């Protein structure tokens, strides 16, 4: 009897489940080792809520390809349920009138209290939540292979001068100093870290947030560009077009000693079974220990045709903000939870340092949006900045002054 009752009950629940089950199609670009492991956790959690995950993964670091694919789908009137859209681009999509409000979930779960305003403001369009944040990535990191440094008798650099001294020592020892991926977003990732190290946070704000022409053509900008270009002799001839995770693999496998990259790189080290502090080091990009360039991943929600689909969307948003998800996803991704009050005890030393520095820099006013990762400017302006920086990196005839002029012009592109 008892057994029968349990079976019946389970059957009724299954029916109830099926009635509300939705197919949740999620666009993202998390296809590398660490990224894919993190994305798998998202899928698992959604399926545990009874929905079906439909993967819309578009490979390509920083999501340029994914954004192209998204535009095609939205224009044809067939958007996915949710898409990895970040920063000011959320407003751009909001203006297209295609995003859905998830305010009821956000109110019920008190998101305004769980998120710092610097984050919640970006997730809202005209005062309503239309996106849910996943994490906080720190971008201004340098990833180091300590064994190679030891071979060259060099130390992990803290200043820009030390960085070039270490690079030179590695070169002399026959070791490639820098693993580099020559793609516009990666060029910008390295450049923004160098510019911050050379010019400091006030200069960074003027050049990349306020788009101030005087800062963009200043001697500090010229020096930042020159310093950035000094890295090139320490990279290899095959770096053009290389994906970021392949550059990270070079550090993991001892082919190169250092990589400038955000902490999604840590996801690659961890996925390869490497231990922070032992097999690899995370150090703030030279000269930027007191600053924090942030990159917050988020999913924007699209207007959907029916109630079941909306239910799936809201369950998805709620899962993303849950403490379980924020922990397990970020342990794999290399980032830290964006939700306040999380227990950080399972996170490694890099994650704990990131969480601590996020708080400190936020109080000091040196928590800065990463322009290379879509946090600081309109996407068209960002694209023009990318072009100027990549052209300068690739064209050895172009002077730093010419590149600075290009940045001044880029700042006017909207
Ligand atoms: C960033 C994104 C990260 C990571 C990286 C490389 O823009 O925010 O989550 O995926 O690109 O693809």
| Segments making up each domain of the chain, as ranges | 2-136+295-354, 138-294+372-410
CA of 249 to the centre of ligand 1 (A): 16
Asked if residue 339 lies in contact with residue 326, where contact means CB atoms within 8 angstroms, the answer is yes
**Ligand 1 nearest atom to the CA of residue 264, by list position:** 4
CA of 254 to the centre of ligand 1 (A): 23
CATH number of 138-294+372-410: 3.40.190.10
CA of 3 to the centre of ligand 1 (A): 49
- pTM, two decimals, is 0.94
Tell me the best of 30, 38, 63 to mutate to test the pocket of ligand 1, counting ligand atoms within 8 Å of each CB and taking the most. 63
Relative to beta strand 256-260, strand 141-144 is antiparallel
The yes-or-no answer to whether 2-136+295-354 and 138-294+372-410 have a common fold is yes
Distance CA 114, CA 102 (A): 15
What is the pLDDT, as a whole number, of residue 19?
Answer: 55
CA of 153 to the centre of ligand 1 (A): 33
Relative to beta strand 128-129, strand 82-84 is unpaired
Q: State the burial class of residue 278 (Cβ atoms within 10 Å of its Cβ: 0-12, 13-18, 19+).
A: exposed
CA of 107 to the centre of ligand 1 (A): 28
Going by CA atoms, what residue is nearest to atom 9 of ligand 1?
Answer: 297
**Ligand 1 nearest atom to the CA of residue 185, by list position:** 7
CA of 194 to the centre of ligand 1 (A): 19
Residue pointed to by tokens 């400038």: 260
CA of 188 to the centre of ligand 1 (A): 13
- Domain 2-136+295-354, classified CATH 3.40.190.10, yes or no: yes
CA of 296 to the centre of ligand 1 (A): 9
Tell me the best of 61, 243, 248 to mutate to test the pocket of ligand 1, counting ligand atoms within 8 Å of each CB and taking the most. 61
Distance CA 282, CA 348 (A): 11
What is the pLDDT, as a whole number, of residue 305?
Answer: 85
* Ligand 1 binding residues, C-beta < 6 A: 29-30, 35, 61-63, 137, 244, 264, 295, 297, 373
What is the pLDDT, as a whole number, of residue 20?
Answer: 72
Going by CA atoms, what residue is nearest to atom 1 of ligand 1?
Answer: 62
Give the H/E segment covering residue 34: helix 33-48
**Ligand 1 nearest atom to the CA of residue 244, by list position:** 6
What residue spans of 207-339 are helical by DSSP H? 213-216, 219-229, 244-252, 264-271, 307-321, 323-333
What is the pLDDT, as a whole number, of residue 13?
Answer: 44
Q: What is the dihedral of CA 169, 170, 173, 176, to 10 degrees?
A: -150
Q: What is the pLDDT along the chain (414 residues), one digit of tens a residue?
A: 444 444 444 444 443 444 578 999 999 999 999 999 999 999 999 999 999 999 999 999 999 999 999 999 999 999 999 999 999 999 999 999 999 999 999 999 999 999 999 999 999 999 999 999 999 999 999 999 999 999 999 999 999 999 999 999 999 999 999 999 999 999 999 999 999 999 999 999 999 999 999 999 999 999 999 999 999 999 999 999 999 999 999 999 999 999 999 999 999 999 999 999 999 999 999 999 999 999 999 999 999 989 999 999 999 999 999 999 999 999 999 999 999 999 999 999 999 999 999 999 999 999 999 999 999 999 999 999 999 999 999 999 999 999 999 999 999 998
Going by CA atoms, what residue is nearest to atom 8 of ligand 1?
Answer: 297
End-to-end CA distance of the chain: 70
Going by CA atoms, what residue is nearest to atom 12 of ligand 1?
Answer: 61
**Ligand 1 nearest atom to the CA of residue 262, by list position:** 5
CA of 62 to the centre of ligand 1 (A): 5
């Amino acid at each position: 009897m008892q057994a029968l009752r349990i079976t019946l009950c389970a059957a009724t629940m299954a029916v109830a489940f099926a009635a509300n089950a939705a197919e949740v199609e999620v666009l993202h670009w998390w296809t590398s080792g660490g990224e894919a492991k993190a994305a798998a956790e998202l899928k698992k959690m959604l399926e545990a809520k009874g929905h079906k995950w439909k993967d819309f993964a578009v490979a390509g670091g920083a999501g340029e390809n994914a954004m192209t694919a998204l535009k095609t789908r939205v224009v044809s009137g067939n958007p996915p349920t949710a898409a990895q859209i970040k920063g000011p681009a959320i407003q751009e999509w909001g203006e297209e009138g295609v995003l859905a409000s998830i305010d009821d979930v956000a109110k019920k779960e008190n998101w305004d209290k769980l998120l710092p305003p610097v984050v919640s403001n970006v997730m809202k369009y005209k005062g309503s939540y239309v996106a849910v944040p996943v994490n906080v990535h720190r971008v201004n990191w340098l990833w180091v292979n300590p064994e190679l440094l030891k071979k060259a008798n060099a130390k992990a650099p803290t200043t820009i001068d030390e960085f070039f001294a270490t690079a030179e020592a590695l070169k002399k020892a026959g070791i490639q100093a820098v693993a580099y991926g020559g793609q516009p977003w990666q060029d910008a990732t390295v450049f923004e870290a160098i510019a911050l190290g050379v010019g400091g946070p006030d200069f960074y704000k003027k050049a990349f947030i306020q788009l101030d022409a005087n800062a963009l053509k200043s001697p500090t900008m010229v020096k930042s560009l020159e310093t950035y270009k000094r890295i090139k002799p320490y990279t290899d001839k095959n770096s053009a077009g290389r994906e970021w995770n392949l550059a990270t693999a070079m550090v993991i496998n001892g082919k190169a000693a250092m990589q400038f990259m955000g902490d999604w790189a840590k996801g690659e080290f961890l996925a390869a079974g490497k231990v922070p502090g032992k097999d690899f080091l995370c150090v703030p990009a030279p000269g930027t220990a007191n600053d924090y360039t942030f990159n917050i991943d988020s999913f924007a929600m699209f207007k959907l045709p029916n109630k079941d689909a909306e239910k799936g969307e809201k369950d998805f948003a709620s899962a993303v903000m849950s403490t379980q998800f924020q922990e397990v996803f970020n342990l794999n991704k290399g980032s830290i939870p964006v939700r306040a009050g999380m227990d950080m005890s399972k996170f490694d030393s890099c994650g704990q340092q990131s969480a601590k520095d996020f708080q400190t820099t936020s109080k000091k006013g040196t928590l800065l949006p990463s322009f290379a990762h879509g946090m600081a400017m309109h996407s068209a302006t960002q694209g023009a900045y990318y072009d100027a920086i990549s052209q300068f990196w690739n064209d050895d005839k172009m002077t730093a002054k010419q590149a600075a002029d290009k940045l001044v012009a880029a700042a006017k592109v909207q």
